[in-house]
Amino acid sequence: MSATTLPQSPVDAPGAPPARRPAGAADGRIGLRANLRHIGALARRNALQIKQDPESMFDAVLMPIIFILLFVYVFGGAMAGKGNQQEYVNYLVPGLMAMMGMNIAMAVGSGVNDDFKKGVMDRFRTMPIARSSVLIAKIVVEIGRMLVATAILLGMGFLLGLEIHTSVLDLFAAIGLSLAFGASLMWIFILLGLSLKTPQAVQGMAMLVLMPLQFGSSIFAKPTTMPGWLQSFTEYNPLSNLADAARNLINGGPVAHSVWMTLAWAVGITLVTAPLAVSKFRKKT
């Protein structure tokens, strides 16, 4: 009975050069081009999920309509005086642009938490892709939802009398600033989604963060109408900086300080929370 001899692979053959491995396979690193490709594929997957579940867009579509109508017609008279709702529209809409990003960012954390419970994230972690690409793809799609919400908000604002006193480029700058700050906030809520046990816990914690920041800011009312201790909080509130920057970009006024402060907050939040979120994503079981 003769033994069958298997042919040696190039790796096993004596004197043969070692087989080539894909770039980055030896040290676990993934190149920039591959990373961008993975982000694009995952973003497309997340976008297709929205297409299959249109109800997931209800918050982005309905929230700006409800908020602008509620605050203009319920609080506008008290804030700007009876019959001066149009003046309040020009004050309110730039502030709501800041608020839209924060509310949509909250949904990211709940979505990440839910994906872990369904086992989707465990499947992604078994694939040869950068861990950060999974989270960045989430943010890319949520930025798209923010754009939809902002477009609807501005459309409603124009219907109610919003006027641009500067230029279209300044309006686009205000939108871009809101998107940049909203994207940085998403890392906070992703970290919450990875740290807490249930989507309900994420939403509850998010509301504890959202409420003081939103109502203790210059989004809805001028800080000069607030007591001194609240004015101090409002002055350092990043949402106030964003609201003031967007407001001055649209209505005219000094923008340098508020714009730079908003960008500093966005960069600082991202530099602190993004690495923590990626690390938590790698270790979460």
Amino acid symbol at 33: R
Measured between its terminal Cα atoms, the distance across the chain in Å is 52
CB 101 within 8 A of CB 185: yes
Tokens of 82: 């009876």
Per residue of the chain (285 residues), give pLDDT as tens: 444 444 444 444 444 444 444 444 333 566 777 778 888 888 888 888 888 888 878 888 899 999 899 888 887 766 666 666 778 899 999 989 988 888 888 888 888 888 777 777 777 777 777 778 888 888 999 999 999 999 999 999 999 989 999 999 999 999 999 999 999 999 999 999 888 888 888 888 888 888 888 888 888 888 888 888 888 888 889 999 999 999 999 998 899 999 999 999 999 999 999 999 988 888 876
Query: For residues 197 and 71, what is the distance between their CA atoms, to the nearest angstrom?
Result: 34
Burial class (CB in 10 A: 0-12, 13-18, 19+), 37: middle
Query: For residues 105 and 28, what is the distance between their CA atoms, to the nearest angstrom?
Result: 31
Close Cβ partners of 76 (under 8 Å, ≥ 6 residues apart): 84, 85, 88, 89, 92
Query: For residues 199 and 115, what is the distance between their CA atoms, to the nearest angstrom?
Result: 10
The predicted structure's pLDDT at residue 49: 81
- Number of CB atoms found within 10 A of residue 137's CB: 22
Interaxial angle between packed helices 131-159 and 168-195, expressed in degrees from 0 to 180 and rounded to the nearest 10: 130
CA-based torsion, 276, 277, 278, 281: positive or negative: positive
Residue the block writes with tokens 């714009």: 259
The predicted structure's pLDDT at residue 156: 94
pTM value is 0.81
Query: For residues 99 and 255, what is the distance between their CA atoms, to the nearest angstrom?
Result: 19
